Amino acid sequence: MKKRSLLLVILFGVLYCSQAQAQGLPAINIIPKPVSVKLKPGTFKLNGNTVLYVSNEAKETATAGFFASLIGNAGLKRLRLQDIPKDMKSVSNGIIFRFTLKGNIPPEGYVLNITPERIILEASEGAGLFYGMQSLIQLLPPEIYSVNKDRVNSQYSIPCMEIRDHPRFHYRGMHLDVSRHFFPKEFIKQYIDLIAMYKMNVFHWHLTDDNGWRIEIKKYPKLTGIGAWRVDHENDPWNKREPQKPGEPATYGGFYTQEDIREIVKYAGQRYVTIIPEIEMPAHCVEVLAAYPNLSCKGNQVTVPPGSYWPNTDIYCAGNDSVFIFLQDVLSEVIDLFPSEYIHIGGDEADKTSWTACPRCQARIKAEGLKDENELQSYFVKRIEKFILSKNRRMIGWDEILDGGIAPEATVMSWRGVEGGIAAARQGHDAIMTPEDYCYFDHYQALSSTEPKAIGGFLPLKKVYSYEPVPEELKADERKHILGAQGNLWTEFIPTVKQAEYMALPRMIALSEVDWSPKGKRDFLEFRTRLTPHLRKLDFMKVNYSPGSFKVDINTRFDQKTGKAEVILSSEQPGIPIYYTLNGNDPDSKSTQYTDPFDIKGNMVIKAGLFVDGNLKEKISERNFLFHLAVGKKIKYMSTWSERYPAGGETALIDGLRGSKDHHDGLWQGYLANDIDVIIDFGKEIPVTSVMATLLQNQKAWIFLPKYVEFSLSSNGKKWHSVNQVLNPVSPKEEQVFIQPFTQPFPSTPARYLRVTAKNYGVCPAWHEGAGQASWIFADEIVVY
Ligand code: ACM
Ligand code: ZN
């Protein structure tokens, strides 16, 4: 193409884009965001006469049929399906579904070409065709999901474009715990529909846990006869439920028959969703021991707990071969039901007290030459893996399967942070990332006092969206072991379908983009705008979702060249105005309305809130900004902060923003086991008269003040002189949470560079609950005058 005509096409594309919006044509709100979308002139008119042309291979998939039935439900008559004519160019008012040569389009990818005459959807495999169809549906207005047919049109205009798309990660998962609360088959199908709608491809089905066994196993009928039922104490708080009393009937529960499971597996398969079943071992199995007490170390009779069961002391006996026979029998039936390559065996949170006291477990340790109970768990898991491999399947376990030595071919599901995933990848094992802080959708997603009861934590939509599954610690050749990310929905505090929807949505939609879209294409505020029609779609579908957080985020931005510092206010709620003050008073709907970033010129208190009809929606956000000489200057890190507490990342220590006593407030940078070691470059030599580092102690959260903070100055970055080591003046035993400044004033000294080193306290002391384990340092700012 000649350069000039290329320019014209680009220009036309840009003009068309805004024209499309102006004409009220559908905007491109596809989620997850495709790899590439090129708008073109014109529109395709979808109406009752549109024909779906399907190639022979594509007929083997249900994809065109899904499209036809959705359109049928949307008020158009059910579209006809026909063979593709020899000359595709003869097709007008048709949608062509076909396969192209393998290799032309990446795995699971598709090309969707929309012209005024026809739409051509191509992929090299069924999954790609299905995902292209999902994108095409998302180009139609949310009203197509309306049950009220008056709302729908007899014709839909789809803007012309070419989409080329494929996923970033092959593993894109959602988990659901059906043990803590049982969910009916119809909801499982709906959950799979939602997974598929957002191009995710794994449903991790947590089928067994202490509070109920949910899958029929023909050989062991008591698993569902007894293990699936508990006393109904649903009206008491989860953590305070009395165990079953003798004679008290167990009436709460349920399970899926093998017929149900086959139906659901087939349903998922047609939607390119693989179901990974999880059968928990060696712990989280009290419900099994209630049915078959001989499988525990002590063999005592237990009951299915109706609520919290902690610690997990009733576990399978690792010294009893009957346990392995039982588990192999169960897994054999599970493997027959689920075609999934992976089988999940749990492996988390086993309290091994009973193994320590059990003669059979101790005999096993001795006979197998194991060092301790951790190695006994490793023996247990390895033995199970051997069986799973013998059935030509692969094993996944929670990251505890690393303890005591990982099984040879296991895949690790990293949940206690990202460390398990890092360790697995470094050992050459695959990992699926589902760290609590970013992927546990049972956590609160807005201010807890305004939300239905949840287990705890705070995981707003924005934080899910910010998740980067590949830990930066990994080297290039280790990164391929990160298969993707998964959202987990544990259901201790989720008793109903409506609550499950509320907790999963819209966070799973945000995660779908983390898993699918190119990293560089992610932009939260743009995503949040694209999300709006999807929420409307959920309204039409009568699916519940959370309106999200109504908090205002207050951030700062620096231009290191000009030295200019700006405040940026944002929220998860596009369209709801933000009002703010800078004088310390609480804002109301008559305060200044935020439109654009504004300059910081000195110390200020920024207070902001979202107001609807004059009323504050959540609570006022507040940030104290301290203007000092290091604000916005260059900073070099010689040590690394923890991924779990990055605060503002590179600029956290010199952004002028002061933290509160809440170490989760997003302003505290956390260092696990590490020192803080940074060099600030003022850009030129300036007179320095005082330096201060502010640190937090919260020993109950394993956060200690450093042993000392050392300040050094230099004019060339090579020759340093230490101004002082400021020793920690406060006892580590101090129980209060407090912020401690480490300050060093001195006679005015010219310097260009300041080095600040804060020495980690070391491992938690003997009297502490974390005795012997790594401790944290938390810092929010290095203040220079
Ligand atoms: C887990 O959350 N116990 C895997
Ligand atoms: Zn035992």
pLDDT tens for each residue of 623-665? 999 989 999 899 999 999 987 799 989 999 999 999 999 998 8
Read off the pLDDT of residues 270-289 as tens digits, 9 standing for 90 and up.
999 999 999 999 999 999 99
Q: Does a cis peptide bond (omega within 30 degrees of 0) precede residue 574?
A: no
Determine the atom of ligand 1 nearest the C-alpha atom of 284: 3
**Which of 309, 349, 486 to mutate to test ligand 1, by most ligand atoms within 8 A of the CB atom?**
349
Confidence of residue 13 (pLDDT cuts 50, 70, 90): very low
Lowest mean pLDDT among 15-29, 324-338, 503-517, 547-561: 15-29
What pLDDT was estimated at residue 22? 44
Q: Assign 25 a pLDDT band (cuts: 50, 70, 90).
A: very low
pLDDT score for 153: 63
User: What local confidence, expressed as pLDDT, does residue 7 receive?
Assistant: 36
Hey, what are 240's tokens?
Answer: 């305070």
- Find out whether 660 and 781 touch, Cβ atoms under 8 Å: no
What is the per-residue pLDDT across 405-416, written as a single tens digit (0 to 9) for each? 999 999 999 999
| In the predicted structure, residue 27 carries a pLDDT above the cut 90 | no
* pLDDT band (50, 70, 90) for residue 450: confident
pLDDT at 409: 96
Smallest-distance ligand from the CA of 416: 1
Residue whose Cα lies nearest atom 3 of ligand 1: it is 348
Confidence of residue 147 (pLDDT cuts 50, 70, 90): low
CA of 369 to the centre of ligand 2 (A): 16
Show the beta-strand stretches assigned E in 84-214: 94-99, 110-114, 118-123, 155-165, 171-177, 202-206, 208-209, 212-213
**Average pLDDT over every residue of 266-271:** 97
Pocket of ligand 1 (CB under 6 A): 348-349, 398, 415
Average pLDDT over every residue of 108-129: 97
595: exposed, middle or buried (Cβ count in 10 Å: 0-12, 13-18, 19+): exposed
Asked if 484 and 169 touch (Cβ cutoff 8 Å), the reply is yes
pLDDT band for position 71 (cuts 50, 70, 90): confident
pLDDT at 76 over 50: yes
What is the b/e burial string over 24-59, where b = at least 16 CB atoms within 10 angstroms of the residue's CB?
Answer: eebebbbbbbbbebebbeebbebeeebbbbbbeebe
Is the bond into 732 cis (omega within 30 degrees of 0)? no
In this prediction, residue 10 carries a pLDDT of 36
As a whole number, mean pLDDT of residues 247-252 equals: 98
Q: Is the pLDDT of residue 86 over 70?
A: yes
- What percentage of the chain carries pLDDT values higher than 70? 96
Q: For a substitution probing ligand 1, which of 309, 348, 432, 439 has the most ligand atoms within 8 Å of its CB?
A: 348
Return d(Cα 180, Cα 287) in angstroms, integer.
11
- At residue 148, the pLDDT reads 65
473-485 per-position pLDDT tens digit: 899 999 999 999 9
Task: Tell me which residue of 415, 305, 284 sits closest to 347, measured CA to CA.
Answer: 284
Short-list 646, 649, 692, CA closest to 672: 646
**Alpha-helical runs (H) found in 481-567:** 497-504, 507-516, 524-541
Average pLDDT over residues 67-79: 82
Better-predicted residue by pLDDT, 74 or 746 = 746
Q: Which two three-digit tokens encode residue 206?
A: 């947590």
pLDDT range class, residue 503, cuts 50, 70, 90: very high
Distance 511 CA to ligand 1 centre (A): 19
Cβ atoms of 364 and 370 closer than 8 Å: yes
Catalytic residue status for 349: yes
Please give the average per-residue pLDDT across 764-771, as a whole number.
91
Query: Average pLDDT for residues 602-615, to the nearest whole number?
Result: 93
Backbone dihedral angles phi then psi of residue 173, each to the nearest 5 degrees: -115, 160
Burial class, 216, CB count within 10 angstroms (exposed 0-12 / middle 13-18 / buried 19+): buried
Q: Which of 206, 284, 443, 481 is catalytic?
A: 284
What is the band of 19 on the pLDDT scale with cuts at 50, 70, 90? very low
pLDDT of residue 488: 98
Q: What is the pLDDT of residue 149?
A: 62
Nearest ligand to the CA of 362 is 2
Average pLDDT, integer, range 487-515: 98
CA 440 / ligand 1 centre spacing (Å): 9
Please state the pTM of the whole predicted model: 0.86
- 689's CB contacts (< 8 A; 6+ apart) are 745, 746, 747, 748, 749, 785
Counting beta carbons within 10 angstroms of the beta carbon of residue 147, is it exposed (0 to 12), middle (13 to 18) or buried (19 or more)? Answer: exposed
Given the residues 117, 348, 349, 468, select the one marked as catalytic: 349
Q: Cα 21 from chain centroid? A: 32
pLDDT, residue 17, reads: 38
Query: Residue 15: what pLDDT?
Result: 36
pLDDT tens per residue, range 332-377: 999 999 999 999 999 999 999 999 999 999 999 999 999 999 999 9
**pLDDT of 490 over the 60 cut:** yes
**What is the structure's pLDDT at 150?**
59
- Ligand 1 atom nearest to 490, measured from its CA: 2
* Mean pLDDT across the chain: 93
pLDDT (mean) for 154-164: 93
**Stretch 566-595: mean pLDDT, rounded?**
94
Q: Which atom of ligand 1 is nearest to the CA of 346?
A: 4
Residue 23 has pLDDT above 60, yes or no: no
Residue in the block written with tokens 């998962």: 173
Ligand nearest to the CA of 397: 1
Q: Determine the length of the chain.
A: 785
Element containing residue 193 per DSSP (H, E): helix 185-197
- Among 209, 419, 430, 781, the active-site one is 209
DSSP labels, 267-324: HHHHTT-EEEEEEEESSS-HHHHHH-GGGBSS-------SS---S----B-TT-HHHH
Give the three-class secondary structure for 195: helix
